[in-house]
Amino acid sequence: MPDREEPNARGLFGGVFARGGVDADDTAWLQAMLDTEAGLARALERAGLAPAGAGDAVTAAARAANFDPNELGGLAALTGNPVPGLARALARRVPQTAVSAVHRGATSQDIVDTAAMLLAKRAIGVMQADLVRVADAAAGLAAAHRATIMIGRTLLQQAVPVTFGLVAAGWLTSVDEARAGLDTVGPRLAVQFGGAAGTLASLGESGQRVATLLAEELGLAVPVLPWHTDRLRILDLGAALARVAAALGKIARDVTLLAQSEVGEVSEGAHQRGADQPGADQRGADQQAPAASPRRGGSSAMPHKRNPVASIAILGCSRQVPGLLATLTMATEQELQRAAGAWHAEWEPLTALLRLTGSASSWAADLLPGLVVDTSRMAANLAATKGLPLAEHVSSLLAGVLGGAQAHDLVAEAGARAVSAGLPLRDVLLSVPKLEERLSAAGITAEQIDSALEPSGYLGAADAFVASALDAHEALEVHHG
Amino acid sequence: MPDREEPNARGLFGGVFARGGVDADDTAWLQAMLDTEAGLARALERAGLAPAGAGDAVTAAARAANFDPNELGGLAALTGNPVPGLARALARRVPQTAVSAVHRGATSQDIVDTAAMLLAKRAIGVMQADLVRVADAAAGLAAAHRATIMIGRTLLQQAVPVTFGLVAAGWLTSVDEARAGLDTVGPRLAVQFGGAAGTLASLGESGQRVATLLAEELGLAVPVLPWHTDRLRILDLGAALARVAAALGKIARDVTLLAQSEVGEVSEGAHQRGADQPGADQRGADQQAPAASPRRGGSSAMPHKRNPVASIAILGCSRQVPGLLATLTMATEQELQRAAGAWHAEWEPLTALLRLTGSASSWAADLLPGLVVDTSRMAANLAATKGLPLAEHVSSLLAGVLGGAQAHDLVAEAGARAVSAGLPLRDVLLSVPKLEERLSAAGITAEQIDSALEPSGYLGAADAFVASALDAHEALEVHHG
Amino acid sequence: MPDREEPNARGLFGGVFARGGVDADDTAWLQAMLDTEAGLARALERAGLAPAGAGDAVTAAARAANFDPNELGGLAALTGNPVPGLARALARRVPQTAVSAVHRGATSQDIVDTAAMLLAKRAIGVMQADLVRVADAAAGLAAAHRATIMIGRTLLQQAVPVTFGLVAAGWLTSVDEARAGLDTVGPRLAVQFGGAAGTLASLGESGQRVATLLAEELGLAVPVLPWHTDRLRILDLGAALARVAAALGKIARDVTLLAQSEVGEVSEGAHQRGADQPGADQRGADQQAPAASPRRGGSSAMPHKRNPVASIAILGCSRQVPGLLATLTMATEQELQRAAGAWHAEWEPLTALLRLTGSASSWAADLLPGLVVDTSRMAANLAATKGLPLAEHVSSLLAGVLGGAQAHDLVAEAGARAVSAGLPLRDVLLSVPKLEERLSAAGITAEQIDSALEPSGYLGAADAFVASALDAHEALEVHHG
Amino acid sequence: MPDREEPNARGLFGGVFARGGVDADDTAWLQAMLDTEAGLARALERAGLAPAGAGDAVTAAARAANFDPNELGGLAALTGNPVPGLARALARRVPQTAVSAVHRGATSQDIVDTAAMLLAKRAIGVMQADLVRVADAAAGLAAAHRATIMIGRTLLQQAVPVTFGLVAAGWLTSVDEARAGLDTVGPRLAVQFGGAAGTLASLGESGQRVATLLAEELGLAVPVLPWHTDRLRILDLGAALARVAAALGKIARDVTLLAQSEVGEVSEGAHQRGADQPGADQRGADQQAPAASPRRGGSSAMPHKRNPVASIAILGCSRQVPGLLATLTMATEQELQRAAGAWHAEWEPLTALLRLTGSASSWAADLLPGLVVDTSRMAANLAATKGLPLAEHVSSLLAGVLGGAQAHDLVAEAGARAVSAGLPLRDVLLSVPKLEERLSAAGITAEQIDSALEPSGYLGAADAFVASALDAHEALEVHHG
């Protein structure tokens, strides 16, 4: 008989793939199915279709700890799903007077689908709490680093300057988009209640009324129709979760790249790597190996190594998402009044999506608040190409005097010389006789060149964009109240 | 030099996979990229960053017919995308005074991404027009067949009665959900304009203003930030298209199953299969082979065969969607300021998604309005199991008198006998001495049994659900104006 | 401390998705990792790099029951994988003299990857045993039904006659192809042993020697190189498993279609549906509800219903496979000497693939041996279209006399009349004056028409194909010894 | 009327996604279908089922240039595939005496599937030629750089030394594995020939004989059975192509990472970026813009930028593969004797897989032979962490004297100090009094420390692994003859 397990009882890979507060394991499924059966009993009682007290009696019995998932799983082999076994077992645990309120009017799919909606609703609540921490941290970085200049990198090559504030603003915007998507999916989480073939025939005239009461009891929406074989809301849920994974996966990829030994512009925070501030996940470790506990991401044999564990874990989660979403999408083609296989094929990928996006959110809520930013490495990396990222700016300065074509050619020549000689662009422009003469002739001063080579002068709308992202974030916060 | 091709010039498989009005081929892409460049020139002029007349001059030159996709494709091999070649070619076609307005401030990704948004916006418009025909046809079927009883089938087995009106209402609801999803994605179709690394540095203080004007010119939304490596809106678009495919694929699957030789409850319409009402697609065929033109879905060698070609084509389209959506989902992990590969990997699947969901929508707009419903086959199939689908109803009748357990056992026994003997359930109940006696003893009359065995009396909320679906459809129509 | 769980302890959905003998749960993973560590200790001892007895000492300690997956999972959050925690815990359980043999030379990925290979090898062995039962059953059906004529169905429409023997031969061939694919993947299951960056630096000159001994100890192949970031063998494994799912999914789809109420040509066997022959999976159910135990696939409320539970379960498994294979394929892009995320993203989908294809194999080994074939329904369905499936044959008979074009037109006309009038094709051909005259004039007798309308005369190579499939099956059996 | 198009006529994105010699466009498909029809006519003639000369007559007419893909595509809308229209059009182009040899015995799927096999066979031939260039180039790099030391990077962090030869050997091994996979799939490319429902009924006794002759004519294998709904060989083909993409995608990812501005250890070759050695792809560009032709991957505005265009293009191709393979895998579930949709859903993804893996192979054959290796940057990056990657080696040196635990602690302390002080590990070990004393006390000399810190002494089996990879490559070459 499983009781609600302690937070970390999630198995060998759960530390990576099932972190944080989202529950989508067998016990959570079992409880959600029982909650559905209990809600149905209460709804039936309210509709006058079950005796007074039946709702409470069923609710009292409907505790996961009273049932054995393994036994129910064995019975599921007879019918293809665990509900018939569960309904019988539940009926055996309620007083005789309440038996008629158990599972009345429902088909197995009503229970499984509604339970999935309950799991999703709960998971989304947990994720939203994590994601607000992620977004706030990103907003904090964006605000703090509006003036922190670094090199922008396109196609993994240094390009032109940006600010780290703008990078963080990009993270913020996508996380806020993901949060808004979770908001939107909420009203799509609807009760499933249609009976054997979607007519609720066994409830006679009372079907729609019971469905509405059931939705009320469970805090879910009322659908236009039973949706046994209209799976768009499953797809909506999958897509909303995939958006979370997409936003977090992009951040994690950026962190792994910026944290490379040769780049070194960010690293996962020290407070995240030691035994000094053990969160729930580390507790076991500490008790087990007080002395030899590794710092997170560290390797005593390779003391220079600071593995970005949180980012890697996020990527390990997010990269499983596309395939799972494909399975859900494929499974939308469901036959007639109940699908032979396609419905069944949804359960595991939906569970995995909830768990993995929940885990990624939890990791991200750890990652971003603790991110260490090395502004000196940013400055050094920007300087390493000796002015070349500003060539475009110099070119536009000269264009006003020389015309675009000449300006372009002159700077291109200077740039090529600078690359081949390993010299700063400034030195080439001001020291190579032929070039320097043309600049002088055009009335361009060394001060003007220096000014054009100053990265802070070539940031365009970067700061305005950061402001926009922060404004949008604030508006979302207000909306969330 | 390609001109806008005639509607059917879509190649060997285009009749199946590129039907209808959605354009997503090279010419459409080329024109959308040119429209973006032209819109940018006009926006620059409005912002005072390009000479008067430059906008018009670039717009005049920006016609796909002026450019050769193959040549641009060859050039794309130098840079990894076709925009640098296109921008140079466009610049050569405008007056010298307007050259400075070509591509100013933009990076290649700005043009490709914005063009993709334009393609999507146009495709969605076309799809919406097809889908309203699909939805209206489904609504018509739902209304016309509210009282047409048929057997519901779960797990591909006959279960309990439903109405064909309810089946059509299910199709209607999912198509309307898909339409609403396309509505929602509209505001997510935003201009992309960020320059080399997302700062619009080369436009100095004017970046955001030009971006806003560009969005105005093109009828697209203004994003909070350039979204070069925040791909959630691509995922949103992919998911909205996948919803369309999901809704249509489910309908097509139902039609292929209901049209099976042994079921025969629906068939694709005759007007869709002959040369008598040739649409655009059939024209070529007719001219080519006036006498021997095949009816659609027919086979002269197998005169009984009525292949559900439209449904098969829809499935041929819809089943490609999950994999393509997976690719877009995977591609959301984009590095730093521009992705090295992930961005490029989006172009083809996004194009395919637009084309395939467009084609499926066009097929569906042909399929549903012409669907032939055979109500006599529906009645015959319902009758074939001789009352067994109503066993549950009989059982509930008896339960009031005998109690649930006894009622269940009695009907179960009768059902088992009926199956093994091949007799109607009614005959077993009323003729097998032991059973008949128990019914008499309980005061159950033959009339009551007959009434319980009447399918029309066991439809529960079917009609009410149809009404709900029709109401929701009407509300969406009102919303769409 | 988990011990090897009893066979059914697989949770709420395990009865469907984790049936049969394949073990891929946490305990199986843990044991496989421990087996790898133990094999390494023995290999090191054999190579002279660990003291005598160290191999045995580590092997003795390396029992899953000695370790707690939840605790190791918690520790995994520090490093991103469970191996460092496991290696330390294992070291604490061996005598001091053997500590140096624990994990020496290895990196975490060596242990995880090699463990995955062990899991795969064991799973494949179990699957092969199930699949031979499936293939033998298909061969039995093919042999028994070489002369059982049924209608072939293309595009879900009745087409021309086939034999059920040929249908079963098709199933046989694909299952045998899947088995051969599992044979092929065997030699690809290689040990992983490369150390921190694939050089085995810490073992000096002995690296390759230890790798070879480790492979010997574990019964795995020796790879050319450590394959830390060359994941083709993971893809090979995934593809071989997907082939199993493909072969079984096709069979299951056919069974669900042929078992439809309106078709009724096959059904899942009675011995599979009752409590009379309970297998391991049913045992729990029987003990729990001896009297009210449902027959598998049955519904006492709907006594006509015979849900094809095994087929549905197979489809519920097989339809999860494409998305999981996509994830593994995507994960082949692994960075430099160890991937940051892509490697981690493999663990869960690989585990799921082993479990799901194992479960599908187990279900299929239950399904096919018990399949009930209803030859009278086959005959009745064939007769239902009243000779039309033989129109092509009649046409070819006439072509010899009338020429192809005339023959075609005559039969096409007769077919159209037969369809519209609901008459047998024979009657139309021999009774409609105009047609009958032309046949007489051509010297075609009624006997010849009758002969052409005899399905057994229009089976072409069906029997020869069955023979080929049986021969190929026998050859594979011989090969397997 | 399309003629074989010139090499670059592949549209707007073809320069990226359709590079090289693989033909999988409409014209190639059309020709392959015609080749199948022609082969069938010749086979029928050889079997005595068609008049003498019919084979040649059909073969002469069966040229793609004689047919219009757009018209056939329009006709395809009537039947769901282009073959019926093509067969009629072909029949109209042959002499009356040969008409009976056109399409005799065949069903549309026979032609489409066999054509797909022909396309695949040709594409594989082209790919193999490109891949041998890739493999030879990798072998060349492996051999040339056996002694080129660089830092190994795990989880995108510097770890311990490797050689660039070993990196290249890893690339070589995976490309050779991919090549071997293509070899293996060859015998799986079998003719499809089964007629309407897989019995070849219309050919009476001659079916298998004609199938065998057809296979001979086309150079394809003879399958055990027609495989209309056994799609394992499509999956095999998809998997073999995915392996190619996997091997090349990994290489491309490595190159993009090693080519990062901050790493700079490799770059795409200069000969690949200029106008000086224009290949087929560059020709158009040169003619168009002789003066302003961009170097590949370059940007005149950002002279420091060297975009790794070939690698990016490979990734743009390879990242589309997982989703496409998922679609093919999903499509293996095909109903009864011909699938309603699943078969159709194969055509486009299979075509795309051939094109994309072909394009990636062509790009790779350009990339690797021209790869520029910067050994001085490798040395500099290795030196940047000042000895820390060798800490493990020092630790093992000390362990012999101090014991493992003490050795570990001493080096860990030294490493931590080195990191925090930014000093070389050597200096800390030999200058910090407390540490130096302990080393002296243990009899460890500075020379020994220096030796342990020498990267070339800590390469383990790197060289032996390179030798193994080169040996395996040679063996494959011998096998290929």
CATH number at residue B430: 1.10.40
Interface of C with B (CB under 8 A): 151, 153, 155-160, 256-257, 259-263, 300-308, 312, 322-323, 326, 330, 381, 384-385, 388-389, 391-392, 395, 408, 412, 415-416, 418-419
Least confident span in A212-221, B368-377, C271-280:
C271-280
| Average pLDDT along chain B | 91
Does A357 share its domain with A400?
no
Across the interface, whether the CB atoms of D304 and A263 are under 8 A apart is answered no
Residue D6 vs residues D100, D129, D275, D457: alpha-carbon distances, Å: 35, 20, 21, 55
CA distance C86 to D25: 53
Across the interface, whether the CB atoms of C89 and A288 are under 8 A apart is answered yes
Structural domain contains residue D381: no
Structure token pair of residue D362: 């062509």
End-to-end CA distance of chain A: 41
Structure confidence at residue A9 as a pLDDT band (50, 70, 90): low
DSSP string, C34-90: HHHHHHHHHHHHHTTSS-TTHHHHHHHH--GGGS-HHHHHHHHHHHSSSHHHHHHHH
H or E, element range at D419: helix D404-421
Least confident span in A374-388, B110-124, B288-302:
B288-302
Give the model's pLDDT for residue B227: 98
pLDDT in tens, D220-261: 999 999 999 999 999 999 999 999 999 999 999 999 999 999
Does D403 share its domain with D333?
no
Does A361 share its domain with A429?
no
C-alpha distance from C395 to closest chain D C-alpha (Å) = 10
Does D164 share its domain with D117?
yes
Q: Which of C320, A342, A326 is nearest to B238 (CA)?
A: A326
pLDDT in tens, B330-342: 999 999 999 999 9
Q: Which burial class, exposed, middle or buried, applies to D96 when counting CB atoms under 10 A from its CB (0-12, 13-18, 19+)?
A: exposed
CA distance C16 to C27: 20
Structure confidence at residue D300 as a pLDDT band (50, 70, 90): low
Does C313 share its domain with C440?
no
Structure token pair of residue A179: 């949060």
Task: State ipTM.
Answer: 0.94
Structural domain contains residue A480: no
Q: Please give the distance of CA A419 from its chain centroid, rounded to a whole number.
A: 42
Structure token pair of residue C150: 């049924």
Structural domain contains residue C300: no
A78, A196, A345 member nearest C285 (Cβ) = A78
Does C159 share its domain with C212?
yes
Give the model's pLDDT for residue D294: 52
3-state helix vs strand vs coil in chain A, percent to 5: 65, 5, 30
- % residues pLDDT > 90 (chain D): 81
- % residues pLDDT > 70 (chain B): 92
CA distance B324 to B353: 7
Clarify whether D19 is annotated catalytic.
Answer: no
D428: domain range? 388-452
Residue B341 falls in which region: left (phi positive, over 0), alpha (psi -120 to 50) or beta: left
Please answer whether residues C1 and C65 qualify as being in contact, where contact means their C-beta atoms are separated by less than 8 angstroms.
yes
CA distance C55 to C46: 9
Average pLDDT over residues B214-230: 98
Does B37 share its domain with B182?
yes
Average pLDDT over residues B138-167: 98
Structure confidence at residue B278 as a pLDDT band (50, 70, 90): very low
Structure confidence at residue A300 as a pLDDT band (50, 70, 90): low
Residue D81: how many other CB atoms lie within 10 Å: 28
Last residue of one domain, picked from the residues B328, B350, B373: B373
CA distance A450 to A448: 5
Structure confidence at residue A442 as a pLDDT band (50, 70, 90): confident
Across the interface, whether the CB atoms of A391 and D153 are under 8 A apart is answered no
pLDDT at B343 over 70: yes
Residue B328 or D2, more confident = B328
Phi (first) and psi of residue B228, to 5 degrees: -50, -45
Q: Which burial class, exposed, middle or buried, applies to B481 when counting CB atoms under 10 A from its CB (0-12, 13-18, 19+)?
A: exposed
Which DSSP symbol is given to D292?
Answer: T
Q: Which of D161, A187, A293, A384 is nearest to C89 (CA)?
A: A293
What is the number of H-type helices and E-type strands within chain C? 20, 4
Please tell me whether residue D312 adopts helix, strand or coil conformation. helix
- Write out the catalytic residue numbers of A: 299, 338
Structure confidence at residue D333 as a pLDDT band (50, 70, 90): very high
Q: What is the CATH number of the domain that holds D345?
A: 1.20.200.10
Low-confidence residues in chain C, pLDDT < 50:
1-7, 271-293
Structure token pair of residue B446: 């033959």
Does D198 share its domain with D223?
yes
- % residues pLDDT > 90 (chain B): 81
The catalytically annotated residue of C202, C299, C451, C456 is C299
Structural domain contains residue B481: no
Across the interface, whether the CB atoms of C160 and D229 are under 8 A apart is answered no
| Helix residue spans in C219-299 (DSSP H) | 232-258, 280-288
Does B262 share its domain with B397?
no
D476 Cβ contact list (under 8 Å, min separation 6): D135, D176, D179, D180
CA distance D357 to D368: 16
- Contacts with A76 from chain C: Cβ below 8 Å: 12-13, 15-16
CA distance C56 to C52: 9
Residue D256 vs residues A383, B82, D259: alpha-carbon distances, Å: 22, 21, 5
Give the model's pLDDT for residue C336: 98
pLDDT at A272 over 80: no
Which DSSP symbol is given to A45?
Answer: H
State if pTM tops 0.90: yes
**Which of C248, C333, C344, C453 is the mutation pick for testing D, counting most D CBs within 10 A?**
C333
Give the model's pLDDT for residue C406: 85
CA distance D28 to D10: 12
Residue C3: how many other CB atoms lie within 10 Å: 9
Across the interface, whether the CB atoms of B199 and A249 are under 8 A apart is answered no
- % residues pLDDT > 70 (chain C): 92
Q: Which of B165, B174, B462 is nearest to A207 (CA)?
A: B462
Does D30 share its domain with D110?
yes
Structural domain contains residue B298: no
Structure token pair of residue A452: 């054009």
Structural domain contains residue B64: yes
Give the amino acid at D185.
Answer: V
Average pLDDT over residues B174-185: 98
Strand partners, D154: C338, D157
| Average pLDDT along chain A | 91
Structure confidence at residue D183 as a pLDDT band (50, 70, 90): very high
Task: Please report how the helices D69-79 and B309-318 are oriented relative to each other, as an axis angle in degrees rounded to 10.
Answer: 110
Residue A481 vs residues A139, A142, A474: alpha-carbon distances, Å: 17, 22, 10
CA distance B99 to B311: 51
Residue D299: how many other CB atoms lie within 10 Å: 22
Give the model's pLDDT for residue A8: 53
With tokens 């001892």, the residue in question is C45
Does D339 share its domain with D417?
no
pLDDT in tens, A360-374: 999 999 999 999 999
Give the model's pLDDT for residue B300: 61
Give the model's pLDDT for residue B454: 96
Residue D155 falls in which region: left (phi positive, over 0), alpha (psi -120 to 50) or beta: left
Structure confidence at residue B270 as a pLDDT band (50, 70, 90): low
Number of domains into which chain C is organized:
2
**Which of A79, A102, A276 is the mutation pick for testing C, counting most C CBs within 10 A?**
A79
Last residue of one domain, picked from the residues A373, A402, A422: A373
Does A330 share its domain with A357?
yes
Across the interface, whether the CB atoms of B80 and D316 are under 8 A apart is answered yes
DSSP string, B425-454: HHHHHHHSHHHHHHHHHTT--HHHHHHHT-
Structural domain contains residue C206: yes
Structural domain contains residue D469: no
Structure confidence at residue D8 as a pLDDT band (50, 70, 90): low
